[in-house]
Amino acid sequence: MIPGPLRNNLELMLMGVLRHGPAHGYAIIAALREYTDGEFDLAEGTIYPALHRLEECGVVESSLESVHGRRRRTYALTTRGRKQLGTQRREWRAYVAHMEAVIS
Amino acid sequence: MNEPTIDDYLDELLRRTHADARTTRRLIDEASDHLEATAAQLEEDGMPRRQAELEAVRRFGPVGPIVRATFRRSLGALVLDTLRAGLFLAGCGLVAVGLSGLVALVMNLWAGQSFVGGETLFPGPGAPVREVAADAVVLRVIAGLAGLVMLLAYLGWRRYTTSVSRLPDGLVDALGAAAFAAGTAALAIASADQAAQTGTPGVGFPLSGAVVALPATVYFCVRAVRALLPAASGSDRQIGGRVGPPAAPR
């Protein structure tokens, strides 16, 4: 059975990007594209509801800044988020290893 | 072909996002910043402005999945806000019932127990006047105390949750006004009907409720009007520090 937290891969990927440091939505999408060589070309707008959900859970926190007269929200992993990422990463790796064992 | 530009897209997002004001504003802010940043980057890469906007919108994705995800996230909070509003209204209703018990007590002392408990339509024929008159006080006051406990729970809930309510301004007050107005009308009609059928005995039973429901209606109407008409509510004073046109320059 797929572990509960891994059902939402998008949130795990967002946490994975934010592990490298605070970033706003546009930069997160650019990083996702870069890390995956453009393989994960998701609809960019879908990351915002996911980021809002992560913030409500206390996994990320956000701050506002003004850039070229526009309000820009930057997200960062919280301490709790780092712990959560560590746990989910272990679960993900175990899941991949098991899948590999089955299909190889 | 009418493909949406950034403004068209944001209009559509705003129109279809059925979330609370804060969530909606935040989503629009972020979408706007993201779309403008993408378009600016594409323009820098040599794409004409209109084409850059169309491409930014295409990359951002259709509005549907975004509003659905936002609504799902907002729904839980909306349900909690509705429960909290229900607790407030139920508490107010029960406190009003308790106050009507005190009014019934005054009526018992002032006009005699038959005014409240005599041949009333509500408890059924044969109920002793004294028992009905006493029950009208005791049971209602117990309900009022339960209402006070609910209001205290509501205040505690509000104090320890910092989020702004997702419900539209004035909705709870308008519902309260409507409920109390309906109660006032029903109890006033029952009082008149009782008076027409039996004279004064038993009139105090519904009348004591109407006497409390009427000011409660007025109270909730005032709150609803103040919430729905910001210009009359003092909101301008809170935001701008003053109401009315700016002072003429000297």
Interval B122-154: pLDDT, tens = 555 555 777 777 888 889 999 999 999 999 999
Are residues A26 and B60, on separate chains, in Cβ contact within 8 Å? no
- pLDDT score of B35 more than 80: yes
Tens digit of each residue's pLDDT (9 = 90 or more) over B57-114: 999 999 998 888 887 766 777 788 889 999 999 999 999 999 999 998 898 888 887 8
Residue B230: the pLDDT is 62
Kindly report the pTM of this predicted structure: 0.57
Q: How far, in Å, are A50, B15, B40 from residue A84 at the CA level?
A: 15, 35, 35
Q: Which of B10, B30, B36 to mutate to test the interface with A (most CBs of A within 10 A)?
A: B30
Is ipTM over 0.90? no
User: Which of these ranges, A82-86, B13-17, B196-200, has the smallest mean pLDDT?
Assistant: B196-200
Give dist(CA A63, CA A75) in Å, integer.
7
- For B148, residues 6+ apart whose C-beta sits below 8 A from its C-beta are B91, B94, B95, B98
Q: Is A77 helix (H, G, I), strand (E, B) or coil?
A: strand
Q: Which of A24, A26, A54, A73 to mutate to test the interface with B (most CBs of B within 10 A)?
A: A26
Residue A101: the pLDDT is 93
